[in-house]
Structure 1
Amino acid sequence: MIENERMDVPELLESVSLLVPEETATENDITVRDIWDYLVHDEWEIALGLLEELGDGRKFPLTFWEKLAEAAAQLRLERSAAWCRWRCSEIRNGVIRADLTLRPAAGARRTTPVSGAGVLRAMWDIGHLSPTGGRPVSIAFLWVENMPMLEPGGRATVRLVPLTPAHWTHVQPGQQITMHEDRTVAGTAVILDVHRPATAMPAG
């Protein structure tokens, strides 16, 4: 990202806009042409938010999210910067979306909320067996969709980015996995969909 460091916010956002096909639209029918209007009037924060929205659910190149992350960081939009960096990690390592239910505080080690912004590095039992018959765990970072945090006993759709993608190649929608922060079960999740790493995608 050395080239990004020489670019200011307007240049970064203009560069990102050029990666969006003209026919791409948000649920509210906002297109890249609308974003250009905001850029012309120096409404950078609005333009950035709309570019994030255009990127949701679509396969844009790594450069799209890298430059958005840099622009958000320069605008001091910490949550947006974290989200864009997270999307970069999803492209590199793949992502598993799941319906997670945490155990209530009274029955689990955790008594405080889980951060929703990709901070927690949890262990997951995803069905592997060790040569001795034990249940090894695999590590994945966790992002809670549409919520700043998830309370004990709470339920939400989460996004998991595996630390070692090769450990997760067998998981599939409908499979149940368990979350751990120690030997005890911290939560139970049902996999909704799986997206494999896309590191071979062109940088744009």
Structure 2
Amino acid sequence: MEVPELLRRAADLVPADVRSDAGLSAEDVRDYLGHDEWEIALGVLQDLGGIQWQPIAYWNLLADAAQRMWLSRDAAWCRWRGAETRNGIIRADLRLATREARGRRLPVPGAGQLRPLWAIGCPDLPDGLADLHVGRIWVESAPEIPPGGQGPIRLLPLTPANWRHLRPGDVITMHEQQPAAGTATLTEIQLPRSCAM
């Protein structure tokens, strides 16, 4: 399947009342496709928010289109969003420990490569068991977060059900070694369609 067809199929999955932050709709995407503006059409489709209407097939179509356009970061982002559709969205503000406090010496990479452990305050663990859970990081609005820096992130847990007790405002701790690598204050949590009912 060619890129325009992939993007048209994705646009066909968008409800008529859904708009991007800029007020664009699936109809605008079709207009861009009519002018061979594939990258703009992909960008608009990525900006249409809300996991409540987006099926995983939507993000698979976008990831495939981005891959065929050699837009590897966009393809990775679309695969990430597909996983969020399945597992839910967790956004947070990450504050990394400084180098002086024996924090990270390298930046946190932005595109979901880092999978640290998180102490999430799991209430159901028996005494003596470690409260550490794997969660991948996607840095928002920047390619990375420097050592000792701070920035908005998205988290993708390996075991999402273990994170369901968390609420915006909760603080979780990032662990890679001793001492802790940083803390994240949760800013948004959206459950997937299957859990939101």
Tell me the alpha carbon deviations over residues 72-99 of structure 1, each in whole angstroms, 9 at most, x when there is no partner: 0000001110100000111222231111
SS in 2 for 1:185: coil
The answer (yes or no) to whether the contact 1:99–1:191 under 8 Å persists in 2 is yes
1:63 match: 57
The residue number in structure 2 matching 1:102 is 96
Deviations 1:103-143 (A, max 9, x none): 11222241111111111101000113754445420110111
| Root-mean-square deviation (Å) | 1.9
* Aligned partner letter, 1:89: A
Instruction: Return the match for 2:163 from 153, 168, 177.
Output: 168
Q: Does 1:190 align with 2:185?
A: yes
Count of aligned pairs: 194
With the length of structure 1 as denominator, give the TM-score of the two structures.
0.87
Offset, 1:57: 3.9
Within a 5 Å distance, the mapping from 1:137-176 to structure 2 comes to 137-176=132-171
Aligned to 1:39: 33
CA separation of 1:10/1:199 partners in 2, compared to 1, >3 Å: closer, same or farther? farther
Runs (4 or more) in structure 1 with deviation over 4 Å come to none
Q: Of the candidates 9, 18, 31, which is equivalent to residue 15 of structure 1?
A: 9
Name the CA distance, whole Å, in 1 between partners of 2:184 and 2:2. 41
Moved more, 192-201 or 59-68: 192-201
Task: Verify the 8 A CA contact 2:122 2:163 in the aligned structure 1.
Answer: no
1:128 has 2:122 as partner: yes
CA shift, 1:32, in A, is 1.8
Deviations 1:23-71 (Å, cap 9, x if unpaired)? 32223222222211111121111111111112x3453111111100000
For residue 153 of structure 2, give the secondary structure of its aligned residue in structure 1.
strand
Matches of 1:74 and 1:133, distance apart in 2? 49
Offset of residue 167 of structure 1:
1.3
- Taking the aligned partners of 1:21 and 1:166, their CA distance within structure 2 comes to 29
CA contact (8 A) 2:103 2:147 kept: no
Deviates more, 1:129-138 or 1:87-96: 129-138
Distance of aligned partners of 1:12 and 1:128 in 2 relative to their CA distance in 1, 3 Å threshold: same
1:123-171 deviation digits (Å, cap 9, x = unpaired):
0001137544454201101111111100111111111111011211211
In structure 2, give the amino acid aligned to 1:78: S
Q: Deviations over 1:166-186 (max 9, x none)?
A: 211211111111001123200
Q: In 2 relative to 1, CA 58–196 (structure 1 residues): closer, same or farther, beyond 3 Å?
A: closer
The one of 162, 168, 177 equivalent to 2:172 is 177
